[in-house]
Amino acid sequence: MPATLSRPVKRTPTSPQRVESPLDSVRRFTLAEYQRLIDLGILGEKDRCHLLNGVIRNKMPQNTSHTSAVQKLNRRLSRLLPDEYLVFPDLPVRFPSSDSEPEPDFFVTAGPDTRFDEVKPTAGDVLLLIEVADTSLAADRGEMLAIYAGGKVPEYWIVNLADRAVEVYTQPKGGKKPTYRTRTDYAAGQSVPVVLGGKPVGEIAVSDILPGGN
Amino acid sequence: MAVALAPNGTAPAALPGTNLFRVSVAKYLSMCELGTLTESDKVELIDGILVKKMSRNAPHDSAISRLQFLLFVLLQSSRVVRTQSALILPRSVPEPDLAVVAGPAARYAQAHPRAADCELVAEVSESSLAFDRSQKLQAYARAALPEYWIVNLIDGIVEVYTDPRNRGRNPTYRARTDYAAGESVPVVLGGKQVGTLPVSEIIL
């Protein structure tokens, strides 16, 4: 492994926050109902929405630094990953554990290419999931982290643009308050190991995906 | 004597910070028609949000039934009195506890009443009082429904909201008048008072 400037920082993951109480009066949808709304054409491509904990929510518009980081990450991932892996940018993935169907910035599954011709990817298929966070940081560390941990996504990265770091969450713990047992932060100058299904496949330099390089 | 009060001012924005996807009236009606939502779903659409309806109790149902009876006696066949039935409004499809709409009844055999058909809406409120005074009130004011009553079981009064202001971001009613036990609520339809209902006969 190439030398890094300093050791990655181990941190205790913050515990996810409970969903706000006003949502208690909102009618929730199951994943199956949500799929039916899509199949019937009631929800379509023009509706920029996703299902989080049974509630249909708007997807946030993306700002420039977010867009740029996603583009850079896309290139790094494509170069790094062998053809046996599939990269899904901004596409839906089902989380039956929480009636959620988010559309993360990226997730990676095993192939082959034809694997998802007939079925939507589900949490159990996901090897790595990445969110690029600017204004969405609190949600990505809270509500989204709980959804991903609840679905036992083994590796969850938050590319934290404000703090110029990549937060890597591992060892998901399900149950009533899903979270990750481990968080490791990588700063500019360091490289994040890409681990898929327990197998290291390479690494991505933090500076290569942050705005302005170093 | 009836007390005239300033209305509650601007209603709070619905569910701040939750970034909820707003469902259009057309989408909501499709959900009902295509069976995504069924009768067992106790929901109504308020400003694009699918809101679960509160569970009801005996005092609530009793007040609705009293109000329905009194209005029927007063209005006879000149109007249609509907209970817990859908109204199609801009951005909302509420199911008010009671609605007085223009007749004849046959005009609603194939389509729900719309804002222009509606002369009076009433909600019987106990646990839902805060919601009925804010988000519900805003939805009714946005549709410029001329008369909105809240039969307030907590305080034993009838709150009458009139003079809707539906321009701007936070529609509301300009006037609120409260009627307590011993007083009578004027029934004003199409700008004309057609009778009065004693509060003590609505809230037993």
Please check whether residue A82 is in contact with residue A201, taking contact to mean a CB–CB distance below 8 angstroms: yes
> Which of A42, A43, A57 is nearest residue B19 as measured by Cβ atoms?
A57
pLDDT for the residue numbered A52? 96
What's residue A8's pLDDT? 63
* B27/A55 Cβ within 8 A: no
- Under an 8 A CB cutoff, do A57 and B21 touch? yes
Chain B neighbors of A46, CB-CB under 8 A: none
- Percent of residues in chain B assigned helix, strand, coil, to nearest 5: 25, 35, 40
Q: pLDDT (tens digit, 9 = 90+) per residue, A119-133?
A: 999 999 999 999 999
**B15·A57 Cβ contact <8 A:** no
- B27 interaction partners in chain A (CB closer than 8 Å): 42-43
Residues of chain B found within 8 Å of residue A20, distances taken between Cβ atoms: 15, 17-18
Across A199-213, B1-15, B148-162, the highest mean pLDDT is recorded for B148-162
Higher pLDDT, A23 or A172: A172
Cβ distance of B52 and A27 shorter than 8 Å: yes
Residues of B in contact with A27 (CB under 8 A): 41, 43, 50-52
Environment class of residue A126 by beta-carbon count within 10 Å: exposed (0-12), middle (13-18) or buried (19+)?
Answer: buried
Residue-wise pLDDT for A80-112, tens only, equals: 999 999 999 999 999 999 999 999 999 999 999
The pLDDT of residue B169 is above 90 = no
Contacts of B43 in chain A (CB under 8 A): 27
| Chain B residues within 8 Å of chain A (Cβ atoms) | 15-21, 23, 27, 30-31, 34, 36, 41, 43, 49-52, 131
Q: Which candidate from A27, A40, A49 shows the least CB-CB separation from B21?
A: A49
- What pLDDT is stored for residue B55 in this prediction? 81
Å between B127 CA and nearest CA of chain A: 12
Percent over 70 (pLDDT), chain A: 89
Reported as a single tens digit per residue, the pLDDT across A119-171 is 999 999 999 999 999 989 999 999 999 999 999 999 999 999 999 999 999 99
